[in-house]
Every structure is written in C-alpha cells, then in structure tokens.
C-alpha cells in the first residue's frame, strides 16, 4: 500500500535474492517494516503524512527506433505529462462524464446492490425505471422508433395486494409489488408532473429491459451516507 499507493519506492521490499540468503527472511523483513513504521511516525508527528495518494507514474521502456514512426507511435513517444492529484482527479472525472454521456459506462448501474430491496421498504424511495419513449427516427424522413431511458421518480404509495386499487372506481385490486410513482416535470419530453402505477418484478431488478428498475443516483448517495454514518457510530462505540 505504501510503496505502490503512496509511491514510497525507497521502501519497496525485496522478497528474495540469489546472492544473499538474508534477503527475504523474517528477520530482514521485520527490520524493513520497523523502518517504514518509524518513517511514518515521523511524518505524522510533523503533520507531513499525505492524505491522498500521488498520481501513479507509468514507467515506460524505450526502444531503438526502427523506420518511420506511425501517428500512433508518435503519440506513445510523446513527452510524459505529470499531473497533481487534483488535476488527475479532475481529468478522470471529466473522462467518466464523457463516457457516461456516450453510453459506454453506467456508474449508477455499477453502484447497485446485487439483490433487490423489499417492496415494503420502497415508500419515499427514488427509483429509476427503464421506460420506452417514441422519438423521431433520424435515419428516416418520417416515422418514429422506440428509445429506452432510465426515468427517475419517487415512490409515493405501495399496493398492499388486498385492498389497493388504481382508482376508487376500479374493481380490480392491484397486485403486490405495484407502486405509485411520482414523475417530475420533464421539459426534454414536454411532460408535466404525473403519477402512474407500475408493477415492479424482482427478476427485473437492474436489468436493461422494459420496466427494469433500480435505485436512482440520489438514493444511492443517501444510502451510502447512511452506511458511512452507521460505520462511524459503531467505531465510536467499540
């Protein structure tokens, strides 16, 4: 962690040596660890212990040039760019946003828990539901095509499976798993605030399919903050 994460390369451990039997022994490695701990203690006492890891430096091998380099080779041969931790983080976040917009990655999907939540716990929870929209087909002068998006809404009511109906006039009782979702106004699709009943199925949790469902980004942030607070509370009482 210290040699790779904090780049304290001077403390890189040698695990063996063909010329020195002492290298890699318990005694030698124990002494090496003591030196590292003493160094870390000195940094902490002087308030010099870094709180973030430095940007990783990629070590590249150089080879004798043969022939005329291609455009790709010239890029690889370009001067190394060194960034501060803040600059590297900003560049990484910008690249992540670009990939998100291009649909190549989905950070919200990656952060979802494996198992779906219990339906009874969904009240006031912000969910995303995979919903079809008809959009103009750019490949044709006329006509539309179906385009799926993850639409975010808030669960405001949960059907109990025995008495809940879509409207008081309905005779059919809504099945267990049906939730009433409040959809906010969406100017992109010229839609006002609305409410709909949607039946969520456990097998559709996190799935890229019609009526697939998952936690929305604000809900993931709220649950993450709650989990971190609970962890700190347990640490304080232990």
Q: Classify residue 79: in a domain, yes or no.
A: no
Q: Classify residue 162: in a domain, yes or no.
A: yes
Q: Classify residue 106: in a domain, yes or no.
A: yes
105 and 133 in a single domain? The answer is no
Q: Classify residue 182: in a domain, yes or no.
A: yes
Among 44, 46, 57, smallest CA distance to 4 is for: 57
Please answer whether residues 85 and 53 qualify as being in contact, where contact means their C-beta atoms are separated by less than 8 angstroms. Answer: yes
Residue 136, pLDDT above cutoff 80: no
C-alpha span between 16 and 99 (Å, rounded): 43
46 and 129 in a single domain? The answer is no
36 and 147 in a single domain? The answer is no
124 and 165 in a single domain? The answer is yes
C-alpha span between 181 and 183 (Å, rounded): 6
126 and 189 in a single domain? The answer is yes
14 and 122 in a single domain? The answer is no
Q: Classify residue 160: in a domain, yes or no.
A: yes
50 and 3 in a single domain? The answer is yes
33 and 126 in a single domain? The answer is no
* Predicted pLDDT at 218: 94
> What would the pLDDT profile of 32-83 be if each residue is shown by its tens digit?
889 888 888 888 888 887 776 666 666 666 677 778 888 877 777 666 667 7
Confidence class for position 27, pLDDT limits 50, 70, 90: very high
Which residue, 113, 128, 159, sits at the end of a domain? 113
Which residue, 72, 96, 113, sits at the end of a domain? 113
pTM listed for this prediction: 0.62
Across the range 200-229, mean pLDDT stands at: 94
158 and 195 in a single domain? The answer is yes
Q: Classify residue 62: in a domain, yes or no.
A: no
- The backbone torsions φ and ψ at residue 218, rounded to the nearest 5 degrees and listed phi first, read -60, -35
Q: Classify residue 71: in a domain, yes or no.
A: no
DSSP state, residue 10: G
C-alpha span between 123 and 228 (Å, rounded): 22
* Predicted pLDDT at 74: 76
* Predicted pLDDT at 123: 95
* Buried residues in 40-49 as b, exposed as e (16+ CB within 10 A): eeeeeeeeee
* Predicted pLDDT at 89: 81
* Predicted pLDDT at 56: 62
Q: Classify residue 72: in a domain, yes or no.
A: no
Confidence class for position 100, pLDDT limits 50, 70, 90: confident
Across the range 173-179, mean pLDDT stands at: 90
Show the domain range for 102.
Answer: 85-113
* Predicted pLDDT at 197: 94
Average pLDDT score, the chain:
85
* Predicted pLDDT at 46: 86
Domain count, the chain: 3
99 and 46 in a single domain? The answer is no
161 and 231 in a single domain? The answer is yes
109 and 190 in a single domain? The answer is no
């Amino acid at each position: 962690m210290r040699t790779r994460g904090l780049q304290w390369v001077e403390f890189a451990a040698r695990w063996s040596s063909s010329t020195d039997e002492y290298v890699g022994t318990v005694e030698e490695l124990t002494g090496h660890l003591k030196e590292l701990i003493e160094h870390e203690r000195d940094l902490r006492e002087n308030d010099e212990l870094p709180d973030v890891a430095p940007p990783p430096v990629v070590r590249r091998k150089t080879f004798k040039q043969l022939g005329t380099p291609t455009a790709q080779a010239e890029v690889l041969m370009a001067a190394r760019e060194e960034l501060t931790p803040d600059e590297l983080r900003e560049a990484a976040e910008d690249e992540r946003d670009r990939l998100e917009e291009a649909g190549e990655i989905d950070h919200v999907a990656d952060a979802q828990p494996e198992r779906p939540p219990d339906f009874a716990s969904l009240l006031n929870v912000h969910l995303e539901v995979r919903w079809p929209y008809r959009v103009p087909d750019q490949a044709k002068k006329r006509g539309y095509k179906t385009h799926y998006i993850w639409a975010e809404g808030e669960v405001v009511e949960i059907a109990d499976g025995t008495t809940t109906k879509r409207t008081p006039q309905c005779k059919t009782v809504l099945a267990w798993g049906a939730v009433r979702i409040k959809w906010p106004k969406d100017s992109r699709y010229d839609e006002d605030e609305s409410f709909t009943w949607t039946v969520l199925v456990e097998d559709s949790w996190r799935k890229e399919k019609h009526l697939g469902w998952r936690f929305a980004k604000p809900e993931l942030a709220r649950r993450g903050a709650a989990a971190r607070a609970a962890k700190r509370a347990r640490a304080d009482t232990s």
